[in-house]
Structure 1
Amino acid sequence: MKQLLWMAIGVVILAGCKDDHKKLFTVNGNVVNTQAKKAYLEEVPVASMQPVIVDSADIGNGTFTLKTEALEDAIYNIRLDELDFPVASVINDVPEVDLSITMGSKNPQLPEKFDVKNSPASEAMKTFMLAFNEKMIRLVNTAHKADSLRAANNLKAIKGADSSITALRQTAKQEGTALKEFTVGEIKKAVNPALSMFELGYYQSTANGQGLGLDPLDNKQVIALIDEVTKKFPNHVAVAGLKLNLQQEIQAAEDRTWIGKQAPDFTLPDVSGKPVSLNSFKGQYVLVDFWASWCRPCRAENPNIVAAFNKYKSKGFAILGVSLDDDATSWKNAIQNDKLAWTQVSDLKKWESPVVPMYKFGGIPFNVLIDPQGKIIAEGLRGIDLENKLAAIFP
């Protein structure tokens, strides 16, 4: 189960309602390399996560001034015209900040850089993002090297490739662990509650959105960090209220996940028409992989599953492929072309197959990993996440 995903990268706001003592917050902006005519100040309330425009201003000679009233420290995003992404983010830890934005010379739709003055929290937020992104780039590059070497090895046996892939994956895992530790340390030392929550959301959003082995903080870690922030900043209403909301979300997520539950049994015909039941795999670790020949993400993921199967099949690992195809020829051709050398079943009913409501998934690829007793121990494993899970089971 993916952990809490309750903040979007760069667009997090903590808003609360404490009293009527609102404070005016002003952003004095300067932007170059743009033809934009309008600047907007955005807030994204924690309750809805939907951006709310709180002020707008014309851009004249590259300058603009935006103002709003706020009850407590929060994150504000600056957007230009109708651009898809904010061009900068600031924190209202001071009444007034000066912001300089440089849009890309080659792509004026994206910011090249921005600088903030007079706001220690905003400067710390920018420093965190730059450091985080630099570490994340290293992790992505390492993971891509492992994927490229694995793909090359699947096409043509390369001497020593397996050990090199293992070493790269181990490096990626270490880099992921270091990035998590860096983020937790930054959250704990932050001198502003909005900054702490931004850093937490930035990490969780990135970890949940990548198939690179970057592990999200689990629910207990998230609540513990928010507890620390609440104790450190007891008067910040939004942080105090966030814990209750997250506890409710955790409970709802636990109700939805398959992890820890017995896998529902089903029986479907294999490629020869012989009925195969999931229960026949008891006593093994089995990955139930829901896919289809027409599903491009599924086909792109198949080399990862093939590599995992070849590596761990001799150790008690099995796979049951469940296709949502409706054409037998396409299904069987995909099995042969992708070299899926494990049991495959399908009733050729596509989304009308009874396994869809049984396992309650709305998209593919989707999978569940089941232990020898028939209990689901993981779900949605893709890329290096599958390799890491199996490596932990079969050391």
Structure 2
Amino acid sequence: MNKFKLFLLCIITIWYLPGCKLNNSEKTKVVIYTSVPLNTKLSIKRIAFGDEIDSLVDSATIKNNHDSLVLYVSKNEDRAFRITLSGSYLQMIIVNDSKLIRVHINSFFNQYTIQGSKATASLNALGDKRIAIIKVRNLLGKKIDSLSKLNVDRKIIDPLKAAMELNNQELRNGDLAYADTVSNPAAFMEVNGLIDFENDFEGFKKFMLKAAARFPNYKPIRQAKDDAVSTAKIFEEEYEVGDQLPHITLPNEVGIPYSTSALDGRYYLIDFWSTWCNQCLLFTKAEYKVLQKHSDVNLAVVSVALDDQRDVWKKIIPKNKFNWIQLIDQKMWQGTAVRTLKFDSIPFNFLVSPRGKIMAKAIKPDSLESVISRLDLNKK
């Protein structure tokens, strides 16, 4: 018999001691029943919040139906844990909000059930609602794409786009309603990561202040609240034309720090982009064409990538012939560029005078050439 088709039924108990000895009343016991191929590796990680990183609690390779490990998770603070299986996309999230949680996994049919955790049950119920809404949204998206390719009249496509927007709003409203009513802080943090406030930093601050009032003793929520307040404060006053633009220092392609103070006494354009931002790449390519056409203009250019994918960024630069100053801020929206220069979207840019004052900002790709010509920058 093919061993990868064997069904195993085993009880896995995983034992975790977080730095100090706890009695059983202070622990959550997780019992996992599995029906998986032989040699499947099962891993359980504590999900990170804030500056943390996911931490492995334990792992086991299923070799026979006598395998057994024991898992006790501290109940000192409710946290979310992710269970994964090698060779499978199946992932399960549990919250340690009870003394005993049972998980039944059948990877052959990509199915699982979780019993004993109210917070986990509520997260799964929300997940089911989200899946149903997303399926409708995907169908609408496919229909819009196919009709657009056929050059169908906009009167037919526009109602579909409106329906898709309502679908997105339904998804967001469901997430917000769950976040506002859920009683478990770890479950709140899980859904908090799904809600996109886009550039509404003030709205996100109010949202997190309300959450912190509901869960005053929960450290991850307090940290998220502090970050939201700090971020909102950054954008209370943006830099305008005529203001002095501060200098920033960031690493270039070879990791050497470069400061924009080196450009004092010159006109320079500083733009912000990312490798995953298609609109950004369109601007940067337009920028390249303008620079080629006006190579005699006394204008330095600095591109700052807000990107945590340094290797991808390094490959894109030579591929697209971006042969001007290239810097990267891998902390992205929490990094030096955003927090110092106070912009809240990309692509974005500033045109700066030799005295360091902003001459123009947020220049569109199709306006870049006319702006440079209108300002009559000095020739080299």
Class of the TM-score when normalised by the shorter of the 2 chains: 0.5 to 0.7
Q: Which amino acid is the alignment partner of residue 225 of structure 1?
A: F
Deviation at residue 179 of structure 1 after TM alignment:
1.3
8 Å Cα contact 2:47/2:79 also seen in 1:
no
1:35 is aligned to 2:33: no
Q: What's the counterpart of residue 183 of structure 2?
A: 191
What is the 5 A alignment of 1:56-95? 56-59=59-62, 60-61=64-65, 65-81=70-86, 87-95=91-99
Q: What is the rounded CA distance, in whole Å, between the counterparts of 1:132 and 1:145 in structure 2?
A: 20
- Whether the 8 Å CA contact 1:260–1:376 is kept in 2: the answer is no
Map Cα deviations across residues 43-97 of structure 1 (whole Å, 9 max, x no partner).
133133522102234545287543332421110111234x586621100110220
For residues 263 and 104 of structure 1, what CA distance do their matches in structure 2 show? 64
Normalization by structure 2: what TM-score?
Answer: 0.57
Q: CA deviation at 1:148?
A: 2.5
Task: Please tell me the residue identity of whatever aligns with 1:323.
Answer: A
Other structure's SS at 1:235 match = coil
What letter is aligned with 2:210? E
Question: Partners in 2 of 1:224 and 1:246 — Cα distance?
Answer: 9
**Are the aligned partners of 2:140 and 2:160 in contact in 1 as well (CA < 8 Å)?**
yes
Q: Note the aligned Cα RMSD (angstroms).
A: 4.5
The 1:141–1:261 alpha-carbon spacing in structure 2 relative to 1, beyond 3 Å, is: farther
TM-score, normalised via structure 1 length = 0.55
Alpha-carbon spacing, 1:55–1:361, altered in 2? closer, same or farther (3 Å): closer
Give the distance between the partners of 1:76 and 1:172, measured in 2 at CA.
Answer: 33
2:127 counterpart (109, 126, 129): 129
2:216 is matched with: 234
Q: CA separation of 1:149/1:233 partners in 2, compared to 1, >3 Å: closer, same or farther?
A: same
Assess, with a 3 A threshold, how the Cα gap between structure 1 residues 230 and 361 changes in structure 2: closer, same or farther.
closer
Per-residue CA deviation, residues 194-224 of structure 1 (Å, 9 max, x unaligned), is 11111111334xxxxxxxxxx6483233332
Q: Hey, what's the Cα distance between the residues in 2 that align with 1:80 and 1:237?
A: 30
**Helix, strand or coil: the match of 1:93?**
coil
Match of 2:137 among 133, 136, 139: 139
Q: Distance in 1 between matches of 2:277 and 2:240?
A: 27
Kindly indicate whether the alpha-carbon contact (under 8 Å) linking 1:30 and 1:64 is maintained by their aligned counterparts in 2.
no
Relative to structure 1, the CA distance from residue 170 to residue 64 in structure 2 (aligned partners, 3 Å threshold; closer, same or farther) is: farther
**Following TM superposition, by how much is the alpha carbon of 1:361 offset from its aligned partner in structure 2, in angstroms?**
6.2
Is 1:100 equivalent to 2:104 in the alignment?
A: yes
Q: Which amino acid aligns with 2:213?
A: K
Aligned residues between the structures = 269
2:118 aligned to which of 101, 112, 120: 120
In structure 2, relative to structure 1, the CA distance for the partners of 1:357 and 1:84 (3 Å cut) is farther
Show the counterpart of 1:323. Answer: 286
Counterpart CA distance in 2 for 1:94 and 1:113 is: 23
Q: Identify the residue that residue 307 of structure 1 maps to in structure 2.
A: none
Tell whether 2:56 aligns with 1:53. yes
Answer yes or no: is the 8 Å Cα contact 1:41–1:66 preserved in 2: no
Counterpart in the other structure of 2:255: none
Q: Is the 8 A contact 1:183 1:203 kept in 2?
A: yes
Asked if the contact 1:28–1:63 (Cα under 8 Å) also holds between the matched residues in 2, the reply is no
Question: Which runs of 5 or more residues in structure 2 are unaligned?
Answer: 1-17, 244-270, 308-312, 321-345, 351-358, 366-380
2:168 match: 176
C-alpha spacing 1:79/1:358, structure 2 compared with 1 (3 Å): closer
Partners in 2 of 1:217 and 1:102 — Cα distance?
A: 41
Stretches of structure 1 lacking an aligned partner (at least 5 in a row): 1-16, 106-111, 205-214, 265-287, 303-319, 326-343, 380-395
